[in-house]
Amino acid sequence: MDTTRALSSAIALANQSASAMGHGPGSAGGTAHETLARFIAGVLAQQAAVPAGAPVQHPAVASRAGLLLADPVVPVGTGPIGVAITPNGNFAYVANNGSSTVSVIDTTTSPPSVVATVSGFNGPIGVAITPNGNFAYVTNGSGNTVSVVSTASNTIVGSPITVGANPFEIAITPNGATAYVANHGSGTVSVIDIGTNTVLATIGVGSLPNGVAVSPDGSTVYVSNSGSGTVSVIDTATNAVTATVGVGSTPIGVGFTPDGNFVYVANNGSGTVSVIDTTTGPPSVVATIPGFSTPAGVAVSPDGSRVFVVNFGANNVSVIDTATNTIIATLPVGTQPSRAAVTPDGNFLYVTNNGSNDVSVLQIRPIVDTITPPSGTTLGGDSITITGSGFTGVTSVTLNSTPVAGFTFIDDNTITATTPPHAAGTVQATVTTTLGSGTGGSFTFITPPPTITSINPVSGTTSGGTLVVITGTNFTGATAVSIAGTPVASFQVVDDTHIAAVTAAHAPGTGPVSVTTPGGTAIGPATYTYVTPVPTITGFTPTSGSTVGGTQVTITGTGLTGATAVSIAGVPAASFTVLNDTTIVATTAPHAPVSGPVSVTTPGGIATSATSYTYVTQVPTLTGIFPTSGPAGASTQVALSGTGLTGATSVMVNGTPVPYTVVSDNEILATLPPHAAGTVTVTVTTPGGSASIPFTYTRDRTQLTATPALVQLFPPQPHVGRLTATLTDLDTGLPIAGQPITFTTGSTTLCTSTTDAHGVAVCDALLALPLIILNGGYTVSYAGSPNYQPASAHGAVITL
């Protein structure tokens, strides 16, 4: 390109893109002529530096300290500004303002390249792609419209959508329903219904709106007003401005962090970036970051850790660490960079270079491809080689968050490292540089097989319980230990070379020791011998018990495991249980009074106690009787509880024998006969003696019933005036004879009559009928006796 052609191209580009870049007449960035002068200077400088016929290489390719050494540059149309990447990351769409085209870059090729050029636009500036990736919406800055491009065919579909004057940036809500367009020339934002591609609303904002961004949750839209130094906040539910935030001079680029909590605004005129906290009410600037040169576009990494700010005036990109809100790196790019976009995987940054008509593709974090060899021991210490790209300036290398034992940077594509100790399993490598971290590759930590060199001691009893220390290698993570083919009772890995194990019970014999870990099983060569111990008895308790047997005797000693017989005072135990090698619980059998030692027989021999156990005849005790009382007139079955009741010879009530049954040594069932009311003594006699307990006979419950008084004198009735009452024993159900019953009405006693054999008492009260009628009936009462409870009843009046 000669100087004349460069000048012509520069004039055309300056006229179309000066205002889009935030450098229109009166802006802080200078006039269109100043933009033109910078562009011409850049072109001439490149021509002077590059020999004739040599390919032009912009500064991004030359060197980036601490970063990738060479980045591809993709030539596009004239004056590129807006750039957007499809959700799948496969394509980048670039708005070429000067040539009124959109370049489609295939990001999957190496290097990326333009695979389609879409024409038919009018000074395009902004690009946004629907969340489903089907359409790209492009603002026509010189046509006051928005064009829709089908990404499937890379052609414009439908008619342009008319919006406000000089539309710049465009953003689409996460649900893909609505697009918001900043109309630079009319101070408004157009809201497009993507379903119908019609304008739903027009919202007034500040002066010269430029950048626009939708919050990740789709609830708000932030619009930078380059003419008024503010950001307008739009509520998408109402499409109304809810807040205006003052920022720096000539704000252009706007970008949300992925959590939606912060918005970064590039202040082109003041060379700063404002950080807006969106969580406060209203939103407010919480930080202002200096050090930029006419910043324009803003892009945020998918993880929110980095913000990339395009410096139009310095031909580079500043990288902000969002944790500290400081610039941590500066990346050279082409001439007059305008906008930027990060690929969805966070690996690459696409920067449009408005002055050099190309797009810089920057690798912004390491990419890890392979790890060789693919496996090593869990002990660590293995040498590995990590390959990929973007390793220049590496600060750390980890395997699943565990730092490697050491690493060496070989070149931008290669790192060698030493593995750390790590649990078994497959991990990935993470390489971290100033700009970020990349994770990939695959390395498997394999547990090494164990070995056994010796054990101590080499023998123990068949009852188990011997502590054995096993020495070897690679014991960490041991899952099983066996001695002579039998799993140990318990074990503990002391360290990688020692295991402490407790032997389990085992038959006599010799066998190898084995240790199993995730790395395999080691068997021998060390062996262990089980020997049968001779039993001993050190004591027992209690030392005596009843001749009826059933006493539990706890025997203590050693070598009791495998006991085959237990005798107490020469009598085989009714039953016994070996609790462990030192304890047996035996139950005595019935036996006549006798005294003798306790003996235990095991495969190792017979142990005999030094002291004796004594069978004694037990004196009986009575601790309870149920029920504790019963009626005087009826038999009552009671349960007698106590001890030593086996062999009972009699049960008596006040010296009179009664029927009984011995249920157990602790219970007797007896039938107590009728008896006068009062407390009696129940006595149980056994060969060991006698025991007594009181029982109370209570007065029988009674019931008195009265027949109604019959009233009819004429004609005379045989029963008129005759009153009768019946007395019954409720506990026996029998009538009670010979008891006095008193008949009264009101305060008048009619008569007293004695019950007959049927329990019936009769009172002739014909002359008293008028009084009985007057009192509404009569009353019969029984005063009770030593054996019977009182009772009363009311007799009604019946008129015949």
SS (H, E, C) 426-486: EEEEEEECCCCEEEEEEEEEECCCCEEEEEECCEEECCCCCEEEEEEECCCCCCEEEECCE
Is the Cβ–Cβ distance between 698 and 629 less than 8 Å? Answer: yes
In the sheet that 406-411 helps form, which strands lie side by side, from edge to edge? 367-372, 383-389, 414-418, 406-411
Residues 72-88: pLDDT tens digits? 999 999 999 999 999 99
pTM over 0.95: no
- What is the gyration radius of the CA atoms in the chain, in angstroms? 54
The answer to whether 672 touches 695, Cβ cutoff 8 Å, is yes
Question: Phi and psi (nearest 5°) for 290?
Answer: -90, 180
pLDDT given for residue 713 in this prediction: 52
Rounded CA separation 151/3 (Å): 38
Q: What is the predicted pLDDT for the residue at 719?
A: 53
Look at residue 562 in the predicted model and tell me its pLDDT: 85
Confidence of residue 5 (pLDDT cuts 50, 70, 90): very low
Nearest-angstrom CA–CA distance, 221 and 181 = 10
pLDDT for the residue numbered 646:
86
When mean pLDDT is compared across 61-75, 115-129, 562-576, 732-746, the lowest value belongs to 61-75
pLDDT in tens, 6-55: 333 333 333 333 444 444 322 333 333 333 333 333 332 333 333 333 32
- pLDDT value of position 800: 65
pLDDT, residue 581, reads 87
Mapping DSSP onto H, E and C, the string for 118-181 reads: EECCCCEEEEEECCCCCEEEEEECCCCEEEEEECCCCEEEEEEEECCCCEEEEEECCCCCEEEE
Task: Please give the average per-residue pLDDT across 449-462, as a whole number.
Answer: 93
Backbone φ and ψ for 10, nearest 5 degrees, come out as -65, -40
Averaged pLDDT, 636-650 = 93
pLDDT band at 715 (very low <50, low <70, confident <90, very high): low
pLDDT of 322 higher than 90: yes
**Does the pLDDT at position 548 exceed 90?**
no
Average pLDDT, the chain: 89
CB 22 within 8 A of CB 250: yes
Q: Which of 781, 602, 604, 617 is nearest to 705 (CA)?
A: 781
Q: Is the peptide bond between 627 and the residue preceding it cis, with omega within 30 degrees of 0?
A: yes
